[in-house]
Structure 1
């Protein structure tokens, strides 16, 4: 991984306010690609820290953050900190606690000792790819996968926009089925390959850099009994016709990366392709949808 100099913006607030700010900041900086994190600072005092790593015109970034903060009551004010050359992703993830969703236990190498009997562990190392399990969309998808795959027993699956490959690894470990994990970003694919290898899931998971459904790998694998896509609402809506084409009749679609206010628009796009809504799982201002066709 390439080291780089970054500037960290951070503030501290109650858990409820910090969670709300995290969602607002993620929406604001969606197109900038700036990494965000939220972590517990003091459980007893109910204080969490929200941090954003940025570069470019930092004064403009600070103005945008300040506008979003508005009149939120902060435990510690917004602070700008220039970081030394360091692996900032690894440093951020070191402070995150493991996550449980269903029987899945998502953790870093420093938390291996916290595995319990009966866990399906997924070890995710720091990398320049989305998906550590700590985001509401990722943990929501894992929870939904646990419920749906356990009941339906799919024969194969697609993880579209795989990021760190956490969902593909979870599916492979749980159902022991072939899973195609694709991403449009070659850096993400490289991280996914490393995590698949780390979790000994290479016999089940194939990773590929692919844009949309135009890559020949999709024709090779299709149709899929299950498609999981944790990306963003707008691309999910555009992909609705192709999702219908590549999913087996009676197969399941699990979608996330959708803000609560975007839920109805996404459902409308899929209703138009004759999908029916089965369940919605809400978490931290985001929703995960289970649809069938």
Structure 2
């Protein structure tokens, strides 16, 4: 049972303003006093939220935000209390099976409901990102299914694997090995556990790495297929290293970007010799399939 928490939130016009607000607030509280989150909305604005175990001083918070980004933002701050709840139980109740081409992502409670002609991928709510219910994960799975209808990529990489859902899907569909990486140690552990749960532990090699900075990328590449469900900015920054680690005519599936961010990501990869083949839009998010022209 998660105890009740107190929440302060405000919507700001852009990423720069949101970062100034978070910086100002985080300097005023110790790590164990508050938890901060900032997310971009589909309309380009940013939601900043702060969670407190104890009721915060609302006047102080408004003053800090006002000094950082202006009085209008301070006046627009909202405060509420999130009541105690068994969030794990609630999450599992909401996680209905998600079909995506030949794949169905499901929780343990739906294990017996998967059609025999589908590939079930069992993923529980966890610390890592990717239960299959987000538009980006579903978009990647649909594009993976599309690729596998005409190609059997031999060397596959899941960059920023999260729960490991994409790596597991690629391994089960191909009956072949997949290299999966994540910058986050808990995600690496979760992905390894999920691979074992899905009887794919012998096929999915999970490593902790930032970008392409690990020797396994050189020894196990170049890759015929790379899946990267991350965020727009890291995807743009990885365009160069991605191209260097691709096999001739290799495919890349990218997601984690809002639809309005897709053109800039496509441009970054075009500049590195990759051309777009498909563009899926699901719930305001984009998933891209690109091909190396060399």
In which range does the TM-score fall when normalised by the shorter chain? 0.7 to 0.9
2:37–2:49: 8 Å Cα contact kept in structure 1? Answer: no
Q: TM-score, normalised by structure 1?
A: 0.75
Aligned to 2:242: 243
Please give the root-mean-square deviation of Cα atoms over the aligned residues, in Å: 3.4
Q: TM-score, normalised by structure 2?
A: 0.75
Match of 1:7 among 5, 21, 27: 5
Aligned to 2:167: 168
Mapped to 2, the partners of 1:232 and 1:258 lie a distance apart of: 5
- Alignment of 1:199 with 2:198, yes or no, is yes
2:2–2:84: 8 Å Cα contact kept in structure 1? Answer: no
Q: CA deviation at 1:5?
A: 4.4
Is the alpha carbon distance of 1:90 and 1:250 closer, same or farther for their aligned partners in structure 2, counting shifts above 3 Å? farther
Aligned to 1:110: 109
Mapped to 2, the partners of 1:175 and 1:6 lie a distance apart of: 45
Q: Which runs of 5+ in 2 are unaligned?
A: 23-35, 40-47, 66-72
User: How many equivalent pairs are there?
Assistant: 249
Q: Which runs of 5+ in 1 are unaligned?
A: 10-20, 36-51, 71-77
Mapped to 2, the partners of 1:143 and 1:207 lie a distance apart of: 22
1:275–1:292: 8 Å Cα contact kept in structure 2? Answer: yes
Partner SS, residue 244 of structure 2: helix
Is the alpha carbon distance of 1:5 and 1:158 closer, same or farther for their aligned partners in structure 2, counting shifts above 3 Å? farther
Is the alpha carbon distance of 1:33 and 1:207 closer, same or farther for their aligned partners in structure 2, counting shifts above 3 Å? farther
Deviating runs (4+, > 3 A) in structure 1? Answer: 3-9, 31-35, 56-61, 88-91
Aligned to 2:83: 82
Q: CA deviation at 1:144?
A: 0.5
Partner SS, residue 256 of structure 1: strand
Superposed, 1:47-126 pairs within 5 Å as 55-56=51-52, 80-83=81-84, 88-89=87-88, 91-126=90-125
1:252–1:292: 8 Å Cα contact kept in structure 2? Answer: yes
1:6–1:54: 8 Å Cα contact kept in structure 2? Answer: no
Larger Rg: 2
